[in-house]
Amino acid sequence: GQQLNQSPQSMFIQEGEDVSMNCTSSSIFNTWLWYKQDPGEGPVLLIALYKAGELTSNGRLTAQFGITRKDSFLNISASIPSDVGIYFCAGSRNNDMRFGAGTRLTVKP
Amino acid sequence: DTEVTQTPKHLVMGMTNKKSLKCEQHMGHRAMYWYKQKAKKPPELMFVYSYEKLSINESVPSRFSPECPNSSLLNLHLHALQPEDSALYLCASTTAGGWNTEAFFGQGTRLTVV
């Protein structure tokens, strides 16, 4: 299956700071998705992207679908303590959906 | 309604037991997925059903047997599992086809094999 490289692996930030994480792949995808997962729970969809170059926001979250269709980034602005968790990117094409390794975010009050 | 419902939430089974995990969605999605997730790892694709037909099988051992009895239901039958099969099993659904849209996950079944 396709391999997704997600970075950084972990981040420790102060409350109020902005955060950026990204995913790259050697394969193209038709859809990029960003999820947040809390311990013991299923991933929760944050943002879905469908077009190359698309920039989409959801509150303090902004994500972009790369022009080459092989990458995507997620930005979180003005972080708050409840942003703590693991963020996963996922790429999807022809019903095949794969995940990056995740970015573990810690927010210090 | 963007809900995917998985049952049971927790399951403990012996290596000789037979059990089933269930997943249900009523969003009209025609692609349904099973993922396995170990601690501190990403979800790992196991099976994909598209229009109730198995379209992807990631070389999963035969002790895991998926079934899609209709467009809303997805089962995962378990038999003769090993302790290393203990994990969070996640179900997801999305629109089927070359261009998938939003994919929603259930809360998962925490499986422990003893």
Residue A52 corresponds to which tokens in the numbers above?
């190359």
B101 versus B107: which is more confidently predicted? Answer: B107
Chain-centroid distance, C-alpha B99: 21
**Range A69-77 average pLDDT:** 97
Per DSSP bridges, beta strands A103-108 and A10-14 are parallel
Q: How many CA atoms lie within 13 A of A13 on its CB side?
A: 23
Chain-centroid distance, C-alpha A71: 10
Q: Does A10 touch chain B (CB under 8 A)?
A: no
**Range A37-56 average pLDDT:** 95
Chain B residue closest to A30 (CA)? B99
The answer to whether the beta carbons of residues B62 and A13 sit under 8 Å apart is: no
Residues 80-99 (A) with a CB less than 8 A from some CB of B: 88, 90, 92-99
Q: Answer whether A101 sits within 8 Å of B41, measured CB to CB.
A: yes
pLDDT category at A2 given cuts 50, 70, 90 is low
The answer to whether the beta carbons of residues B4 and B28 sit under 8 Å apart is: no
CA distances to A38, A40, A73, B34, B75 from A51, in Å: 28, 32, 14, 26, 33
pLDDT at A1 over 70: no
Residues 6+ apart with CB under 8 A from B92: A97, B4, B32, B33, B35, B103, B104, B105, B106
- Which amino acid belongs to residue B10? H
pLDDT at A3 over 90: no
**Quick one: pLDDT at residue B98?**
74
Count the helices and strands in chain B (H runs, E runs).
Answer: 0, 11
Q: Does B11 touch chain A (CB under 8 A)?
A: no
Q: Answer whether B45 sits within 8 Å of A45, measured CB to CB.
A: no
Q: What is the pLDDT of residues B22-78, one digit of tens each?
A: 999 999 999 999 999 999 999 999 999 999 999 999 999 999 999 999 999 999 999
Q: What is the pLDDT of residues B87-99, one digit of tens each?
A: 999 999 998 877 7
**Residue recorded with tokens 């391999």:** A3
pLDDT at B16 over 80: yes
pLDDT category at A51 given cuts 50, 70, 90 is very high
Residue B35 corresponds to which tokens in the numbers above?
């993922």
The shortest CB-CB distance from A42 to any of B50, B100, B107 is to: B107
Q: What is the pLDDT of residues A91-105, one digit of tens each?
A: 999 999 999 999 999
Per-residue exposure over A24-53, b if at least 16 CB sit within 10 Å of its own CB, e if not: bbeeebbbbbbbbbeeeebbebbbbbbebe
